[in-house]
Amino acid sequence: MLVIRNAETRDLEALVKLAAILNSVNFPNQPDVLKEQLELSETSFAGRIKDPYEGHYIFVAEDTEGGEILGSSMIFSRHGSPLAPHYYFEVLFEERYSHTLKKGFKHQILRLRSNEDGPTELGGFVIHPHARGKGLGRPLSYVRLMYIGLHREKFKERILAELLPPLTEEGKSLLWEAYGNKFTALSYKEADYLSRKNKEFIGALFPQHDVYTCLFPPEVQEVIGEVGKDTVSVKAMLEEAGLRYLNQLDPFDGGPHFGAHLEDIRPLKELKILSARMDTRKPASAPKGLVAVEKGHNFKTIVTVLHIENDEIFLEPESMKALDIAPLEKVASMPLKM
């Protein structure tokens, strides 16, 4: 059975393997960094951090039959602080017209911005290749929304998701090669690695003037604001949940930023706290969703049929066992399809 739970120290080896697939700023392929992230995640789930906005939460999807970790996702309580600003390109448009030439142009402009009190970020989303296409993506993505909805006090009122753009076969960013490299003399990988610990060089070296994208080669213009083929389904899930394109881009690779206020997140409007009942009935019309339980600092959720009547949810014995709950214990539920 599939269980999505908070990550633990024992998951380090599995997370290292997943990080080798994604290797992003949020999920680097560095065992020592991942170990620190795991320790911070455990501290965050336990509520032992002084500033709740410094929290970092890692979720893993586990096949309980074999104990294999099939994927992970993360929440960063705040992305952007005085010590580590959140840098991004704001996308603007400017229209110019010449009466003499009887020609007009609509220019796309990139303007560097920073935020020292940023939103909550959804990141670190990766699924093992052999587990893709089996319905794991939505639960692993939405579990973050569910946890945020249950613990609003730990998170900001806005959430952000930075999506990966198309990269070359060598893993290079066309935007970085055309722009960022010219002002930093760093390769995309070097800049990506450095930014994981210190982003000062972005504000120090990037021009503070508007950038007209028409000056870039056509192949660079084509990928600005686009998502890679492996990210198309992630984009669709986020849009269905209520996130929208913010007209913001990653200054390194041009990947789009999606976001929303919590009040606009559709699944959260259906988040419920219910009493669990054991039942073997399987109503054909009931939708599937997430059912979660928290005990101490442990968080666990499964995907099951949401057979809800009044303030009770009826679960099969297998689901009760997977959640390790007894009848009448309180659980949370949230639909996966809106």
Answer with the one of 269, 300, 325 that is the final residue of a domain: 269
Judge if 62 and 187 occupy the same domain.
no
Judge if 228 and 330 occupy the same domain.
no
Judge if 24 and 128 occupy the same domain.
yes
pLDDT for res 49: 93
Q: What is the CATH number of the domain that holds 303?
A: 2.40.40.20
pLDDT for res 338: 58
Judge if 123 and 245 occupy the same domain.
no
User: Is 204 exposed, middle or buried, given 0-12, 13-18 or 19+ CB atoms closer than 10 A?
Assistant: exposed
Judge if 107 and 246 occupy the same domain.
yes
Judge if 133 and 34 occupy the same domain.
yes
Residues spanned by the domain of 57: 1-77+118-156
pTM for the predicted model, two decimal places: 0.93
Answer with the one of 107, 137, 156 that is the final residue of a domain: 156
Judge if 98 and 179 occupy the same domain.
yes
Judge if 59 and 187 occupy the same domain.
no
Q: What is the CATH number of the domain that holds 127?
A: 3.40.630.30
pLDDT in tens, 121-163: 999 999 998 888 889 999 999 999 999 999 999 999 999 999 9
Judge if 171 and 208 occupy the same domain.
yes
Number of domains in the chain: 3
